[in-house]
């Protein structure tokens, strides 16, 4: 078992542990001309910067980005942030590593999430949409990726199984919203829920670290997903053309605005509902991740660090209220 995790590191602590290399770069100070090896080191609990100032030249070519290394170093504070002063680096053999230690993973059971997805598809009333969704999620080239893919690089559900967790969360939300707005076509909305981010299975790479694939950088998940679904629709004889157009519109418009990458604005009830459900679920998940990280921090304040997805710090409501209760007790 890995002895030290990023989230548990304390200032001044001596660390001897395995980490995944997320970034690797030799940097040079423009002012002093001094060079050092800079690494971003990760495990399933987070990422920390590491710096090696001496004797790194012979080590640079012994490991690469997305490799696992064994390090010895000490935790230091720099500009209020923890980083590792590295003293020793040794490449680790894959047989000595459990990759589950290095990639964050959904807390939910993957097979249960798959069962929930399958049950929702099985309950659909529209035979065309049901057949389409089954052809996607049961495809042996897609299903294993759907079980592992994250929903994003960093913004939300950025962990193994994150895409599936996101989809199942949206399935639950779609039931509630369709019950409240009966004019919505629930089967069409469900198709959008399942398919809107399907392109992320190929947009992202997630074998060791989470990064963009070449296809993902060049095309993006909306284009990739729309192409995948178009091929599946073409493989179903006599699939209604208007229904195919509505399904593709859900994928193309789900970001909600042209400046956010959608080539079309949501122009149906189901597309508008999908956009806002997707936006809410992604933002709530991003908040959850930031607040959970603050909870396990020994020096946590009532305010979290900046949340990148929302571009703001977040108030830890429970901690704030607990502090207010203590102050009220002291006044009494």
Residue 317 has pLDDT above 80, yes or no: yes
Is 11 in the same domain as 155?
no
Is 230 in the same domain as 173?
yes
Rg of the Cα trace of the chain? Answer: 23
| H or E element that contains 70 | strand 68-78
Span 125-180, pLDDT tens digits = 999 999 999 999 999 999 999 998 988 766 777 788 999 999 999 999 999 999 99
In a domain, 56, yes or no: yes
Domain limits for position 121: 110-287
Residue 2: C-alpha distances to residues 45, 98, 99, 100 (Å): 12, 9, 11, 10
Is 83 in the same domain as 189?
no
What is the rounded CA–CA span in Å between residue 195 and residue 206?
A: 19
The CA-to-CA distance between both ends of the chain, in Å, stands at: 49
Q: Looking at residue 19, which CATH number applies to its domain?
A: 2.40.50.140
Span 251-300, pLDDT tens digits = 999 999 998 889 999 999 999 999 999 999 999 988 888 888 777 664 56
Is 136 in the same domain as 281?
yes
Span 46-90, pLDDT tens digits = 889 999 999 898 888 999 888 899 999 999 998 888 999 999 999
What is the rounded CA–CA span in Å between residue 106 and residue 159?
A: 6
pLDDT of residue 332: 47
Residue 43 has pLDDT above 60, yes or no: yes
Confidence band of 324 (pLDDT split at 50, 70, 90): low
Confidence band of 1 (pLDDT split at 50, 70, 90): low
């Amino acid at each position: 078992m890995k002895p030290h995790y990023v989230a548990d590191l304390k200032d001044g602590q001596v660390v001897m542990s395995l980490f995944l290399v997320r970034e690797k770069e030799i940097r040079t100070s423009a002012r002093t001309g001094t060079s050092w090896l800079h690494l971003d080191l990760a495990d399933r609990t987070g990422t920390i910067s590491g710096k090696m100032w001496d004797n790194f030249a012979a080590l640079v070519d012994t490991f690469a980005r997305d490799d696992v290394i064994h390090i010895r170093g000490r935790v230091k504070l720099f500009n209020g942030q923890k980083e590792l002063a590295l003293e020793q680096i040794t490449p680790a053999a894959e047989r000595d590593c459990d990759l589950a230690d290095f990639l964050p993973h959904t807390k939910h059971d993957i097979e249960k999430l798959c069962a929930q997805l399958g049950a929702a598809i099985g309950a659909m009333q529209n035979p065309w949409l049901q057949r389409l969704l089954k052809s996607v999620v049961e495809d042996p080239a897609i299903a294993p990726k759907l079980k592992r893919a994250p929903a994003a690089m960093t913004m939300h559900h950025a962990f193994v199984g994150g895409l599936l967790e996101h989809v199942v969360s949206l399935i639950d939300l779609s039931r509630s919203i369709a019950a409240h707005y009966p004019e919505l076509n629930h089967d069409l909305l469900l198709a959008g829920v399942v398919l809107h981010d399907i392109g992320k299975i190929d947009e992202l790479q997630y074998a060791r670290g989470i990064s963009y694939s070449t296809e993902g950088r060049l095309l993006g998940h909306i284009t990739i997903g729309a192409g995948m679904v178009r091929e599946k629709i073409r493989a179903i004889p006599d699939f209604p053309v208007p229904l195919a157009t509505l399904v593709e519109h859900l994928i193309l418009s789900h970001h909600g605005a042209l400046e956010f990458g959608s080539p079309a604005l949501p122009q149906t009830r189901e597309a508008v509902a999908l956009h806002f459900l997707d936006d809410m679920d992604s933002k709530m998940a991003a908040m959850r991740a930031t607040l959970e990280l603050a909870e396990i921090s020994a020096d946590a304040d009532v305010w979290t660090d900046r949340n990148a997805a929302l571009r703001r710090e977040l108030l830890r409501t429970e901690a704030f209220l607990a502090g207010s209760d203590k102050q009220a007790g002291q006044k009494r």
